[in-house]
Amino acid sequence: MALRINLRKIRPDYILKPRGKNLKFVYYVRRGLRHFVPSFWLRRHKAELLATLDARTDKEQILDRVNCYNKLTGIRELSGLTHVSDVTNSNGTDNCDAFEFTRYFSPDLLLDKHFGDWTTICETPSIVKTRPLSGDNINNVILNLDKVRHFVFLKDKRTFASKWDKAVFRGAAYQPHRQRFMEKFFGHPLVDCGNTAEKSDLPKEWSASLITLYDHLKYKFVISLEGTDVASNLKWVMSSNSVAVMPRPKYESWFMEGRLQPGVHYIEIKDDYSDLEDKIQYYSTHVEEAEAIIRNAHTFVEQFRDKEREELISILVLEKYFRHTKQ
């Protein structure tokens, strides 16, 4: 029991740098300490967690999220190329984050995986960070990967009404849709936008230095544009007192972007951004409506803050994965 308590003391997932991002060295310390956790404790802790499920008041919510991340039904075949023991506590954050939970299971079990920015439908049941929202994505089984970068939440002391009546965007404009955004709104009086890519053939005047996450929160509106897959800033924007402004998501991750409702959790704009100016002007003057969106966003974010629940859901997602691949 003492070991469990100590492990929880070294899990400050949302300790933040002055820039607002998670502290990488905390992440790497936690990663290193996993090597010292004996397998017998892992088995016991997993059994203890699973035994709490029936008595939990949030059981239905937990199972609903498990079934959201893992949609598998019946028995499905694997390519059988990867053993659980091949998922190591190294080789990038996706591997490390998967290892955090695969280590609770037998090293001889098999899985398929596609780590990194995965944007297509998997042919066999595979562990991924993200999946497309369109198409038959049942084989794309989501785990919370690269969370040191993606799962950042902020404490925002500014009220929405006290912020600037503008939108802000800082991001690497590698993708065509981000380049179109820069072309349309660079220099616009209602949008402060800049391209942060270090190497770029785009117009030099678009280039801008990174600003802290907290500097973004001086603005009423923060533009959240998907990159290769999900928009990495969406979590911290929705935890703040600014409003996320974005086209409807095309990919989803552990954050369940597919369950976000336009006008409820964020301000939706068209894919061609043609209504952005109108939306900024509307919500700048309809403060109560914007504040309602902020409250709903905070409620949505709150479900991810319980570390023990997140751990239990992750284990259940993997347990269902092995069960539906006949293991």
Q: Would you state the pLDDT for residue 25?
A: 65
Q: Is residue 110 part of a domain?
A: yes
Q: Say yes or no to pLDDT of 285 above 50.
A: yes
Say if residue 140 is in the same domain as residue 170.
no
What does the pLDDT read at residue 19? 66
Distance (Å, rounded) from C-alpha 9 to C-alpha 234? 27
Residue 6: pLDDT band (50, 70, 90) is very low
Residues 199 and 292 in one domain: yes
Q: Is 134 a domain residue?
A: yes
Chain center to CA of 259: 13
Query: What's the pLDDT at 26?
Result: 76
Tell me the pLDDT tens digit for each residue of 94-108. 999 999 999 999 999
Average pLDDT over residues 170-187: 97
User: What confidence tier does 3 reach under pLDDT thresholds 50, 70, 90?
Assistant: very low
Amino acid at 226: E
Give the pLDDT of residue 35. Answer: 77
304 or 8, greater pLDDT: 304
Task: Clarify whether residues 84 and 171 are in a common domain.
Answer: no
Q: Could you tell me if 77 and 109 lie in one domain?
A: yes
Kindly report the CA angle at 25 between 23 and 28, in degrees rounded to 5? Answer: 120
Whether 10 and 117 share a structural domain: yes
Domain count, the chain: 2
* Residues 167 and 107 reside in one and the same domain: no
Residue 63 lies in a domain: yes
Q: Say if residue 239 is in the same domain as residue 290.
A: yes
Q: What percent of the chain has pLDDT over 90?
A: 81
| Residue 132 pLDDT > 60 | yes
Q: Is residue 219 part of a domain?
A: yes
Q: Indicate if 201 and 135 belong to the same structural domain.
A: no
Tens-digit pLDDT profile for residues 39-64 = 889 999 999 999 999 999 999 999 99
High-pLDDT (> 70) share of the chain, % = 93
Residue 113 falls inside a structural domain: yes
Q: In terms of domains, do 25 and 118 share one?
A: yes
Tell me what pLDDT residue 310 has.
Answer: 97
| Mean pLDDT over the full length of the chain | 91
Question: pTM score, two decimals?
Answer: 0.89
Rounded mean pLDDT of 118-125?
Answer: 95
| Whether residue 320 is found in the same domain as residue 278 | no
| Residues 180 and 204 occupy one common structural domain | yes
- Which of 7-11, 19-23, 212-216 shows the lowest per-residue confidence on average (mean pLDDT)? 7-11
Closest to 133 measured CA to CA, from 303, 223, 245, 247:
247
60 in any annotated domain: yes
41 and 54 both lie in a single domain: yes
CA neighbours within 13 Å on the CB side: how many for 261? Answer: 8
Least confident of 3-7, 60-64, 279-283: 3-7
Q: What local confidence, expressed as pLDDT, does residue 11 receive?
A: 34
CATH number at residue 181: 3.40.50.2000
Q: Is the predicted pLDDT of residue 20 greater than 80, yes or no?
A: no
Domain limits at 232? Answer: 160-302
DSSP 23: P
> Above 80 in pLDDT, residue 140?
yes
Residue 311: pLDDT over 80 = yes
Residue 261: pLDDT over 50: yes
Residue 68 domain flag: yes
User: Which stretches does DSSP call E strand in 197-275?
Assistant: 219-223, 243-246, 251-252, 267-268
Residue 170 belongs to some domain of the structure: yes
